[in-house]
Amino acid sequence: MRASPLPRGPAPAHRWAGTGSVQVVATAMGDPRLPARAEGTEAFELLEKLTEDAARPVRVVTAVPIDPDTGLAALAAQPLERRREIVLRGLRAGIQEDPARLLAQTAPERIHLVEVAGDARTPLHKLNNVVRQLHPPGTRPWMRRRVALATGDGRDGDYGNVRRTGLQRAANGRQAVDDLLGRVHAHAHDGTIVVVPAVLAVEVAEHLEGHGVGGALFAPTRAGQHLWDAPMWWSLVTAGLPPADRSDPMAAWAEALQPHAAALAQWRGRPQLLREIDHRTAPVTEPSREVARVVRRALREVERSGHDPRTHPSPLPIVVLDDPELAMSYDAFHHRLKVAPWVTEVDPALVLVMLVHELVHVEQVAQLAAAFAGTPRDVALVLDTVGIGIASGLRATMEDLAYRTELEVAEAIGLTLPAPGGSEGTTPEDRLRHMLARLGALPYGSPDWLRLIDGLVVPPPPAPPTP
């Protein structure tokens, strides 16, 4: 879409030329990538501003898939003068409602509502459901993928059903989106406002532009951060599906995520995302000489002993990690090793195995970067944009392999570990040894192993909304 001068009033994210003018409004409602409490107040108030000065009712076409039982019937029973107050209070509390339908209830004289998305039985809504099921940690399909990638067991019939069902629903969803684009186009007369999920907003806008219809794309702050084009969206649908080949977990992830990496490289929002990540990155602090000496000594020992997992070792800058519990962490975005100052107080043998763990991640990121024809920063961007479910699944797979290698090296060098059922101890070193002992007592890829690893990388579920 081509940029042009912005009009008065709400500023569009994009504007393009053509016959007539259609305003496309992106909303987080119905967007499977965003948390349940995504802010809806801005989208509702944006629609109010776009329609407040109209001389006659504005035609508003909503393409937001929604369940039939949305609570709007209860709102309709309230006096008209109280509805807006009720709506805003509910939106601020985190309710999920289509802003177009809400505006039709609070200001029926202002808009003429046309619904084109259908109800919860439509393939598009089912696609949203399958994306939700495959991405969030803790669901059965997510766990099936984890077990299959950890064990390489191809005999799991239920896993195969999850894959086939997901592929079919993705195909149905693609057809449903194509049908939806056609219905939106059929109703997109001059002066119409079209309300869509943020995940489809750019595709709708580009479809209209491609058919010669002029217009502008608007987005509230939350939805505006996720204005993805069609390649970005569909690459994530397929990335969330179980892979066909599970013989090499990292290769399976590379194949699954390669289309998203390619789409991300061409995405118009990439420069802004890079700036945002750089902005939220904490200032770098150089490590003390003692910390640098400890790490470099461990690195020389790793290389000398043949335990270096890297195929092509390269310089790895060291910076300070400000964490009372975490000793080391590989920062792929900046390709550097973050190290806590307290490693100088740790047994050198434990420092060595922890370093091996992080070097495994360096190698894994290098493998993904090679598959993406990119750099470690490109891999970090993929992790930043795929959503918590997929990102957690990839990180869990990476931790499976890193801890397995760490335990093998610990055994090879004779690192002393406590009894698995003993006390965690009181120091970070005690807790690190205890964690390795617990993992070392479990069969690799067993349910208990998976639960323990997943607990390290999967955040707890969000708290329910407060009324």
Percent of the chain with pLDDT over 70: 86
Please say whether the beta carbons of 311 and 363 come within 8 A: yes
Asked whether residue 406 is assigned to any structural domain, the reply reads yes
**Ramachandran assignment for 94, one of left (phi > 0), alpha (psi -120 to 50 degrees), beta (any other):** left
Do 49 and 189 lie in one domain? The reply is yes
Report pLDDT for 395.
93
Residues 24 and 99 in one domain: yes
Q: Is 27 helix (H, G, I), strand (E, B) or coil?
A: strand
Number of domains the chain is built from: 2
Rounded CA gap, 128 and 329, in Å? 34
pLDDT of residue 273: 83
Who wins on pLDDT, 447 or 113?
113
Same domain, 196 and 298: no
Question: Which of 196, 231, 246 marks a domain boundary?
Answer: 246
Separation of alpha carbons 105 and 171, rounded Å = 35
Q: For 160-207, give the DSSP string.
A: HHHHHHHHHHHHHHHHHHHHHHHHHHHH--TT-EEEEEHHHHHHHHHH
What per-residue confidence (pLDDT) applies to 441?
Answer: 94
Would residue 271 count as lying in a domain?
Answer: no
Q: Are residues 70 and 154 both part of a single domain? A: yes
- Nearest 5 degrees, angle CA 303-CA 308-CA 311? 115
Query: Are residues 301 and 234 part of one domain?
Result: no
Same domain membership, residue 297 and residue 242: no
Task: List pLDDT tens digits, range 418-466.
Answer: 988 777 778 889 999 999 999 999 998 888 998 899 888 876 655 554 4
In a domain, 252, yes or no: no
Residue 296 and residue 237 in one domain: no
Domain boundary among 196, 223, 246: 246
Same-domain check for residues 335 and 451: yes
| Residue 465 belongs to a domain | no
- 136 Cβ partners below 8 Å, 6+ apart? 142, 388, 389
Q: Is residue 22 part of a domain?
A: yes
Is 391 a domain residue? yes
**How do residues 299-309 score in pLDDT, each as one tens digit?**
999 999 999 99
Question: How many helices and strands in the chain, by DSSP H and E?
Answer: 18, 9
Q: Do residue 103 and residue 21 come from a single domain? A: yes
My answer on whether 302 and 392 are in the same domain is yes
Same domain, 19 and 167: yes
171-186 b/e with 16+ CB inside 10 Å = b? ebbbebbeebbebbbe
pLDDT higher than threshold 60 for residue 164: yes
pLDDT tens digits, one per residue of 178-193: 888 999 999 999 999 9
- What range defines the domain where residue 352 resides? 278-457
Query: What's the pLDDT band for 170 if we cut at 50, 70, 90?
Result: confident
pLDDT confidence bin for 224, thresholds 50/70/90: low
pLDDT digits (tens, 9 = 90+) for 327-343: 999 999 999 999 999 99
Model confidence pLDDT, tens digit, residues 39-64:
678 889 999 999 988 888 999 999 88
261 in a structural domain: no
pLDDT over 70 at 401, yes or no: yes
Q: Does residue 442 fall inside a structural domain? A: yes
Pair (110, 197) in one structural domain: yes
